């Protein structure tokens, strides 16, 4: 089944556009989790702590969040034990009914991209992954083939959420377009052969929620491209910034929040699991209102 | 010690600009290595075969190659056992006196780039890594800090070796520069604070050897930036394409070849280790002649 159709069905089934970003940071873990390790935790201790923490969140958020986005970097930083934990998390999250996005931001020449696509979409078994397309079409082909033929999804970096994104992405081309619009055109083109019954493509785009005007411009330019929108919560984007981004059916975007959900216990007088659930529920409800205003959901 | 100075000293010490790309591919391994596994190798068997193969190459090429470039993708594709092998290879190659470049092409927002820098430069312990700077300065800072302060090196994607690189990288900006020149300017700027006694910076650039005119244009524009040049050998670039890229001292570039060295036994009637060594020696000698013509080595 085409990934875009699967994602749309999941959004409608859970009435949620929330993607929980799994960005574990040992220093931010609740004291209850940290206290299970000794005062000088090694990488195996830290991986065990991540496991306990993320298992709790996955159990409690499965009705609230449509997807999880696993930030591979934080697992790589623990070495092989961390990489093993990443692989286990993909399987566990899929078993709990989440759409699983490997946030790997990989991209290389063709034969190397084939190895990356294999690593994250085949071996790890993620439903979708994030991709950096600086290399162009031949570097993208191994990812695109899996989107066209194997029901996998991609989210290609177009306009990222960080302030420095303007340095390259906003440079203006001779034809008047900024660079990110040229990247967007490539993405829309790659997506044509990967459209599902919904009309949406399995080739999506990463569009930062911290740049609402540019995000709406991209929404208009890319009607068939699902958006993965980072920047909600701790990076500053709000539900109001998402107005107009969900498309006529309300299923053209999902929104990621990581730290604001994971470490919600720091701002709410609640146990950490309950704090995370409450934060995710409020985000879900706020986004649902915005998505309904945009169309027919 | 600044990475650029360390790399220059290694080039002069070994009289070599050769970087061996460690891109293991099970189907291409010599029969002698493949025969040690059963007919249906699992990932542990494949990792063992990679280990045997790469250990042989590392032993035989340590006098010929100044550096190895480990293509992380091919290890990720074997899962956690592959990731463990990658970590072991970095340590082994460093112990044998190679400069070790983790070819990871990572890049993300700041706190995530911090995790990637930690994973490859701190935990794995590579001397340098390849980076994708589509995110801009704030996403680069964790990598740049290690180049300025910790003797680590970076090679930022500027103009890649693949045909599709023109689709985004060659687009012309309103000021007349192609996108890759804008990326080059960012790289040169980031490198100013990371220059060594040689005048070269620890912030280098990936510049494909398959585009010689553009590579020479970049050489002129970036006098302080070391180049990592992929595309030699199986991608088609020759020593002649490298004329003018090594700088006045002959130490401003290193050149990567992967498949043409690793699988040289397919084209030479020699045992695989000897075939690889012969291929690397011929590459070394050809590049040394070219680098001398460019300057004072």
- pLDDT by residue (tens digit) across B109-150? 999 999 999 999 999 999 999 999 999 999 999 999 999 999
Which residue in A54, A64, A11, A55 sits closest to A282, CA to CA? A64
- Determine phi and psi for B149, rounding to 5 degrees: -110, -20
Which residue in A258, A186, A35, A160 sits closest to B139, CA to CA? A160
In this prediction, residues A45-58 reach a mean pLDDT of 97
B166-214: pLDDT as tens digits: 999 999 999 999 999 999 999 999 999 999 999 999 999 999 999 999 9
The answer to whether the CB atoms of A164 and B138 lie below 8 A apart is yes
Fold classified for B3-293: TIM Barrel (3.20.20)
Model confidence at B297, in pLDDT bands (50, 70, 90)?
A: very low
User: What pLDDT was estimated at residue B38?
Assistant: 83
Alpha-carbon torsion (B266, B272, B276, B279), positive or negative:
negative
The answer to whether the CB atoms of A138 and B111 lie below 8 A apart is no
Q: In angstroms, what separates the C-alpha of A181 from chain B's closest C-alpha?
A: 11
Tokens found for residue B297? 């080595």
Q: In angstroms, what separates the C-alpha of B118 from chain A's closest C-alpha?
A: 6
B contact test, residue of A80, A91, A140, A185 with most B CBs within 10 A: A80
Cβ within 8 Å of B, A 53-82: 71, 73-74, 76-81
Residue A210 has pLDDT above 70, yes or no: yes
Q: Chain A within 8 Å of B186 (Cβ-Cβ)?
A: yes
Do residues B279 and B259 lie in contact, with contact meaning Cβ atoms separated by under 8 Å?
no
In this prediction, residues A160-177 reach a mean pLDDT of 97
Domain locations in chain B?
3-293
Q: In 10 A of CB A35, how many CB atoms?
A: 11
The answer to whether the CB atoms of B123 and A79 lie below 8 A apart is yes
| ipTM, two decimals | 0.97
- Chain A, nearest residue to B171 by Cα: A173
User: What pLDDT was estimated at residue B234?
Assistant: 83
Model confidence at B296, in pLDDT bands (50, 70, 90)?
A: very low
């Amino acid at each position: 089944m085409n990934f875009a159709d699967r994602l749309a069905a999941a959004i409608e089934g859970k009435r949620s556009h929330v993607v929980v970003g799994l960005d574990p940071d040992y220093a931010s873990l609740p004291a209850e989790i940290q206290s299970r390790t000794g005062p000088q935790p090694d990488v195996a201790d830290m991986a065990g702590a991540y496991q306990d923490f993320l298992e709790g969140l996955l159990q409690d958020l499965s009705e609230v969040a449509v997807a999880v986005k696993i930030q591979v970097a934080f697992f790589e930083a623990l070495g092989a034990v961390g990489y093993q934990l990443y692989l286990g998390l993909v399987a566990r999250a899929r078993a709990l009914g989440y759409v699983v996005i490997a946030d790997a931001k990989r991209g290389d020449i063709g034969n190397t991209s084939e190895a990356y696509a294999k690593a994250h979409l085949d071996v790890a078994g993620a439903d979708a992954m994030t991709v950096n397309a600086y290399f162009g079409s031949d570097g993208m082909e191994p990812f695109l083939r899996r989107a066209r033929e194997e029901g996998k999804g991609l989210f290609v970096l177009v306009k990222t959420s960080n302030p420095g994104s303007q340095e390259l992405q906003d440079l203006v081309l001779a034809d008047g377009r900024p660079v990110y619009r040229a990247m967007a055109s490539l993405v829309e083109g790659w997506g044509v052969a990967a459209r599902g019954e919904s009309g949406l493509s399995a080739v999506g785009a990463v569009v930062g929620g911290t740049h609402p005007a540019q995000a709406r411009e991209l929404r208009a330019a890319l009607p068939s491209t699902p958006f993965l929108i980072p920047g909600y919560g701790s990076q500053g984007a709000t539900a109001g910034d998402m107005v107009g981004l969900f498309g006529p059916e309300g299923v053209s975007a999902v929104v990621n929040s990581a730290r604001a959900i994971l470490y919600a216990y720091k701002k709410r007088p609640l146990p950490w699991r309950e704090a995370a659930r409450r934060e995710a529920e409020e985000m879900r409800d706020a986004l649902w209102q915005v998505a309904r205003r945009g169309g027919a959901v």
